[in-house]
Each structure stands twice: as C-alpha cells, then as structure tokens.
Structure 1
Amino acid sequence: MLRKWGVAAVTATTAALTVGLALGASAAVQPTFPSLPSIPPTAPSIDFPIPKPGPTGTVKPPVIDPIPPSGGPTRPPGAVQPILPRSVNVQLKVERDGRLTVREQIIVQAKQQMTRVAPLRIGDRVFTVRDARIEGHGTVDVTADAITIRVGEGASTVHYTVDGTIADGDDRQEFRWQPASGWDTKLALLRVSLLTPRPGRDFVCLAGQPGTNEVCDSALTDGGGILRVVQSDLDVGARVDLSAKLPAGLVPANARFDKATSTAFAVTPVSGAGLGLVALLLLGGFVFLWRARARDAKSLVADVEPVALVANDGGKAAFASPDGVLPGQAGTVLAERADEGAFAATIVDLAVRNYLWVTESSGDWQIVRRNPADDALNAYEHTVYATLLPEGTESVTLSALRGAPLDLAGARSALHADAVDRGWFVRRPDRVGHLAIAGAVILALGVIGTVVLALTGGPALLGIASALGGLGLFLGGRFVPVRTKRGSVLAQQVRGVALYLAGVQSDTVPTDRAPTEREVVFSRALPYAVALGESERWLSGFGPIDPAAVRWYATQDAEVAADQGKFADQVAAFVDSLSRVLTPPEKH
C-alpha cells in the first residue's frame, strides 16, 4: 500500500501538493495550484553520487543517497548505503527551450556487459535523440528508431538530448519519456530524477513490461519540486514510463506524432487478437477445403463396380437408375456442369418417354411435338422442351438447328439449379458461390478499412486481418468442390453406370425377353449412354433390337427398318448429329 506518490511542501507560501498514482491519467480532482516562481539559481541539485574506482580499478562498494522529501528522515552523518551493480541513475532536466537533457549513470558488474536498445516511439509519439556521448567503457548509437547503449564493467555515464517530450494540451502541457527501457539485463536498482522549470503535477510512473499498468515502487517530490523515482528489480525488456502535467506555455512544445506509421500498424491486444482469429479461421478453412477436395477427388478415382440399369421386376426386365437420377442430371453431376451431352440426353429421354417423336428422312432428322410437357417433368426438362419447341412450334429439323443454334443458357441455369435443389451441388457452377462473393466483399472492405485506419491512426492491422480473411474466403470459395458429399456418392454410382454401359455385351442382356421388354431397357438406357459418352458402345454392344419395337424413332428407309445393324447405326448417327447441333460454334 505504500506504492504512492509522496507529499511535497514547495515553499512556505505554497500549498501542500498531493500527487496520486494514476494508470494513464489522474483519477481524482486536483487542487488549484498557485503560480510558482521560476526555479532560482540555487535550486536543489539533482546529482546522484557516482562511484569512484577502487585501488584495483574496479568499482568500490559505492553509496546511494536519495534526497528525502522535505520533512522526511535524513541520513545520519557518515551513514552510507551500497550502490548495487546493475543499477542505473538517470537525471532528466526539461530545459527552457523544451529539450530534455539526460544523463544516465550505469554501474556494471565486473567482467559483465549491459546493453540498452530504447525505442524512440511510444505509441504514436515520436522522439528524436541527438548529441549523444559516453564517458566510460562503452558506445552509444542513435538511429531514427532507437538509441543503443552498450557499456562494460565499472561506471559509465551517457549524455544525450531528447526532442519531443513536451506536448500541448487544452490547459496544460504534458511531459512524457521512458527513462528506462530495452535493457538486456535485469536492473537491481533504478533511480530517476526529473527537474522542470516549474514544478509539475499529476505524475504517472508505470513500471513493467510494455503495455502493463503496474506502478513504480516509489515516486516522491522533494522540497524543491524535483520528482524522484526509485524502482528495484526491473525485469529484462521492461520499461519505466514517466509522464507529468506542466503549466500551460511553460516551454515550447516539441512533441511529434506519427499515427500512420506507429499506432496504425502497431501490434496491440486488439489487432493481435484480430490477426490470431483470422489465422485460426484460415487454418480451419484450409483443413475443411483439403478434406472436401480429397473426398471429391476420391469419388472420381476410386475403383467402382458396374451399376446395371436392368433390374428384375417380378420376372420381367425393368429399367432402374441409382437414386432415380435422370440422364441430364447424371451427366451434369459427373462433369460438374451441364454440357451439350446433358441436353442431347434430355431430348432423347423426352422422346423415349413419349413427349417427342423422332423421324429420319434422307439423312436429316425431324423432332416432332408428341405430347405437351406436363407435371411429370421437372423444371429443367420443361425449359429444354420449351427451348427446343417454343410455343406454336410443332417440329424442328436438325438441319434447321444448324442454321439457328439454340440458346441453352436458360436450360443450363435450370439444370444447375436442379442439382443444387437436390443436394448434389453446393452452388451453381455457372455462378460465383456465396462464399466467394462474401470473401470478395470482406476483402474490399478490409482494403478500404486499412487505408482509412492508417490515415486516421486507427488499428490498421485489423483492416489487414479482414482483408486476409476475405482473400482466404474468396479463394476458398472458388476452390470448394461443386459437389456435396451426397453428390460425390452419386458421382461414384454414375461412374458405375458408365462402366456398365461401356461393357455391355449382347449376352449380358437376355434375348429371350419379349421385344417390348428389350426395347424398354434399350431405349431407357440410351439417354444415359448419350449423357456419359457411351452411346456408341451401348448401341453396338446391346445386341439385336427390333426397329419396329422402338416406338419413339421412325425411319423412312425400308432397308434400315429391316436391318437391325443398320438401324443401330442410324440411331448412332442421329445422336451424334444432335450433340453436334447443340455444341456451341466455338467448341467445334
């Protein structure tokens, strides 16, 4: 409880002053101070005793004799107190022109060295050191960012001048300096005295690591208004931060502030926490992205078994697809986008399901409206149907479509939306995902915020942290697999279907079935073969099929109608021509 500022009696006509400890500023209402005269020439000395070398050239057990406050106990005559090695005496004097003259007396243990690297920035406050010199064993170097003092054993004294310690306030001036900081050795004892042209008030003395608010062991004003600080056991890298209020206009103000380069990009608890949080989020996002891509890649390279599209339904051959997936959907899930194969497969599937009818004549094919689109079709099938045969159009030939290609943008969008709705895709592959959009917005806001905060002296590192987080989210959103976990499972099953279609042989499809049963299997599987690029193998490997049993396709060539092999070739030519018609010109 005795860590407090002492009471100083200034003169007989000066009221008693109470200087209370504060963490950054005075916590109590201060009394009114009368005008004080300038310091007379006979002002009390602020000198500290300097140890003298002993007979062997080493430091004697020297003495320390702090000047007690007025009215306090005095040192008995002849009594001495030892000056400890690793102790520093600092004398600070604010001159009438505003500069601060500093004298540091450093006592180093025999055969040891001590180094101080003191920053010349405290928050947004920038200081300048000049006229530095040293007496004793050591060196002193000054740069724009720091003053570096290196001293060897014995007693050394460093002198230098500091500009920037006085700042103007509304009704007072403020002094601030760190008389101790950046030492690479734990200081056993630090003594500081501060002399100003007129006594100050509201002194604040903090000791400890930068950013902490621990107060100094002792800070007292003596009868001459000189502040005297004593601090023991100051840890390596710790600082003593001293500030005081001075009368307005006492000396010329010389403080310089550089918020853009000091405070803005300084690592503070807030900005450090922001950077740490972003780092954790980026790490978590990377782990998620890595696992998602690994899972999706596995669905495309893992060994799969053929998935047959023929099921036994009460002794009859019936068609069945995994998860009820339609041909256009199957091709889209596997390719992660809707291409011309998916649309060609959908048109063939609509014909097989009795919505369209295909007829061949003289090497051209006509697609005819057979039944209107109804509720049995989903949204993307409605769009493909309407794109192929708009309202009022009953038929169209492939030769006509070559001259006037279809605009499939709406059908592509509908097919992508269908895959998202069914939980196979996390986003539409033809659009930037929500994560990427959010990342781009956060990135832009982070860049703007960094510039604004840097110009205003705010925590610009928070803006940088936001920008980094936004960039990571944007890139991650672009690289997140389009397929969901369910979509990856379906993609494996579709690969199995493609393997079955590619490997079908005539002996794998029973020939003793009724022609209508074989036609159902042949026709219903054909759109999947088109979507997965296996139509040629399916047509050649399925085996004999009665052209008369195929109810969605007709040919005007009697020879083709009578020859099962030629019929399969003509259907293959139709599929190939349809795919070419739907392919954009730039892909030809």
Structure 2
Amino acid sequence: MLGFRWGRRLLIAVVAGAAITALGAAPASASSAGSLASDDIQFTLRKDGVLTARETITYDYGSAANSAGIERSFVTRQRYDEGNDRVYRVQNVKASSPDGAPTKTTVETGESATTVTVGAGQSATGRKRVVLTYEVHGAVTPLSDLDEVRWVAAGGFAVPARQISVVMNAKAVPNNLACFAGDPNSAVYCSASDMGGHEAGAARFQQARLAPGQVLTVVVGYPSGTTTGEPILDHRFSLSAAFQITPLTGGVLALLLVVLLGGLALLYRTRGRDARVMHSQVAAGDHPPVASGAEGGFEFTPPDGVRPGQIGTLIDEQADVVDVTATIIDLAVRGHILIEELPHERFSSTDWSLVKRTDAPAEQLRPYEKLLFDALFAGRDQVRLSELGDAFSGRLAEVRSALYDDVVGQGWFARRPDSVRTRWTTAGVAVTLVGVAATVALALLTHVALLGLAIVVAGAALAVGAQYMPAKTARGSSVLAHTLGFREYLHRADADEAPEDQRLRLFSRYLPYAVVFDNVDRWAQIVATSGAGGNGHPADNLSWYHGPAEWDLSNFADSMRTFTLTTSGAISATRQFRSF
C-alpha cells in the first residue's frame, strides 16, 4: 500500500478511535489498576529475520499508590494450516525506566502467549515511562515475490491503552503494508499507516485506542531477499491429518511398498527358495518301493532310504506330532515295539500297551529314533499309551530337535529349519516394532504417518514369510521329489501289485508312510485284507500288532485309525495332521 499524508488520516483516526471506545473501553479513571497513556514501539528488522524491539510505555499509575504493575501479553502461537501452528518466540525481555518506575520483570510463557509483568508488587504513583526491549523470532514469511513481516505488535494490556505508535525499520524500502486493530482476529483497519514517502525506509502505524485484550497487528512487505527469516512451525497432532492420503504420501507409500515387498520377494528367492530339481525326478519315485531280496523275495526300499519321521520334516520343514506318531508305528513294523490293543468295554475308550521287543533286529536306530524309544519306555519294558502323559510330552522337544539335526546331517538342509524360521521371525517382529514406533513418531510430528505403515507391512510380511525361509539343498530337493513320487504311488497303488505271500509284510512297511501322507485308512484296510489266513478268514494278529480276544484283522483298519488319533493326542494336546 502506498503511503499518504498523516493529515489526511486525522479524521479516520478520530472516527476509528471513537468506534473502538464504543466497544467497551472504560475511562482511565475508572480503572484502579491505572491506564496506559501511550505506547511507542520501534522495530528493527535484522538480516536474519529477527525483530529487535524498543517499546516505550507511558503509564499513568494514578494518584494513589499502585502496585498492580504493567501487564503486557504477546501472542506466541497461531493456527497456520491444517496440521501446523505458527510459533513466535519473544526472548531477551528487559525493562528499564528513565523516570524511576518499578522495573522488576517476570516473564510467563504459556501455550499460546507470553505474558510480561513489570513492577508487580512495587508501588508507584503518577505518570511514568517504562522501556521494554526484546527480540521477536519467527515473524518473517518468505513469499514468491516478497518477504512478509506479520506481527501482533501492540496490545494485550490488562488496562485501556491510548495513542499506540509502531514504526518498522529495515534496510530495504517496504513494498506494501497493512494493519488491523481490535480483537485478535479483527479485520478492522488501524487508525493510520504510512510508509513515510518514497525516500523513507520505515513503515509507520497509528492506533488511537485499544481496549483491554485488544491488539494491533501490523503487516509489512519487503523485497525478496531482505531477510533470511523463516516461519517457525510446530506440528499440531491430528489423527486424520497424520494419516491423510495426498498425492505425495500415496505415491511415496506405494513406492515404499513396492521396494520393501519386492525386496522381501527377492530375499525369499535367493535365501528361502529350495534348490531346483528336474520334474522328472518326481517320476523317479513313483513306483513300487521294493527290490529283489537275497532269498529271491522282495525287500522294502523307500526312496533314498528316507524314514517316515524324516519325510514329514522334509516336506513341510517342521517336525510335528504326526511325524512322531508315524515313527512309533514304523518302530513297531520294523520289530522294535509290539503294540497290544487292550480289552475294553463296548462304549469305553481304547487303550494300548507298548511292549519293548526282546527279539528286536540289530539295525542301528537313528538318533531321533533312539531318543523317542527311550522317552517312551523310560527304563520300563512296557507302558500304556494312556500313561505317557506330561513326562513324555516334556521330552518331545528333544525328539523334535533331534529330527531337525537329522535332516541337516542327511544334507537335506544347510541349516536347521526351526532356527532359520526363528531368526527370520525375530527379524520380522523387530522390523514391525520399528515400523510401529516410526508410525507413532511420524503421526505425532508430521503428516506422513502412512509411510511408517509401509515398514509395519514389510515387517509383518517378513514375520509371516519366515515360515518359508528354510531352504532345502539340491540333495534335499532331489529326495523330496522322489518322496513326492512315492506319495503319488501310495495314493493309487493297490494290493495286486505285490505277490500275495509278501503283501502283508510289504504293506505293513508302507503303513507308517501312509500316516505321514494322511492315507492311513486306505492302507490299513489293504493290510487287513492282505492278512487273510489260508481258510479265507482274517488272521488274528500281526507280528507287530496284537488285539484282544475276539479281535481279528477285519478290525485292524478301525483300530489303526483310532491308534493314530489317540497317540497324537497323548503326545500333544494339538493334533497336527497334514493336508496335501
């Protein structure tokens, strides 16, 4: 705004002063706390954007001793935008008086205002001058074509104020100016303003009167580059603002998700992917697992010599209850344990006795099999299945651990699958916690909390994907392919593929593998039908499974189904049958 003469503003000043007086300002004599006769403020704008102020207050304490002091409130926080407040810092406040007025000064900093009290508790009378000096930080806003200074320059007094004068000095000539007087958000122009002519470098403002609490706000525009000042912004927390989706946050979030999840996919391919094997190797296992024996018969030869408990761990990379149950049946079929089904009433639960065989073959048990065998009997010759209880379940962890060691020792895995899962799960949880912390911090301090969620998603994906991180070696992948071929064979094979006199022995060896492959009902029935005696009637028992009186192999399928379920329940409270 261009400057103009003070005389031309005189009438405006009188009218504006009368209007503000009508808003409710009381005469000075009506205030027991005194009144402010004039307030003259000189500002100097420094290159760094700081305003240095010298404010001369002429205060009428009255004829009686007055100890209320002078109270001056500075606005130090205003709403800036949806997510930020603008902060002004009033610092280095000092008071002096050429007339001997009280100058004891206290400064109280509140959430949105700084209150300066001068001379409180010190008596004074008459009219005296008090000089305040202070600095204002954060009043400059650099715009596209100018540097704007906006500051609540005067007001905030506890008593009526008259004759307010503000001068803004800088090393540059102002381009424009504006001022507003009244309540803090008033749009009423002040009494007068002037830039002092084209040759002057000062912006001047006048206000005839301010009621208690009213303020005078001044705005001056200077050429760009006059200062290096910047507004001081303080993030204001808002949940909706913190997680708002903007083109920037949406684009960055999508980019982060692509990068992080793409990195996880690459990590899985390089670290968690099994070594590739040719599809033809699956077919290599899809045939009867038998070979010619020394005496002209057939011998059971599972693919790569893999045992039932090992198969379960090889397929899903976890040693669980079904693997242990299949191993117990395998030990029985191989002649180390006799399973005896105990007599029971028609509607009562079935129990079994596991008996240690004295005529067990001399074959070497694998470490996990030996641990399981010892855990079952614990120095006894026989034990009821119902008596295994917590003592056996407590040792199950040792058996599982030995199974993991066994598959590593076989060269099927480079590292224990459980250790790999634990390591990556821990890493995923750690990343998730970092993401949660980052999201909270970003929500409190910025408007881009969505970016923290990308880290949370990546961490959660890593924790879930940890189940797929154990990787088989080339040998392990080859054995798995052969094993899957064996599974396909067991799903389609029938009894006619083996000589009749060898079916019972061979198919009994298949049975523990059928437990792992969730095909126990079919093969238990095949075993039962393969055990018919020479008279066409079912045999009473198997060499490894004995039933009670009146029991024969026609009951075997039901007995075996119940045994596998009961054994799994006795070992662990949770049955973990697989579904392929």
For the aligned pair, the TM-score class normalised by the smaller chain equals: 0.3 to 0.5
The structure in which a higher percent of residues are helix is 2
- Name the TM-score, length of structure 1 as normaliser: 0.46
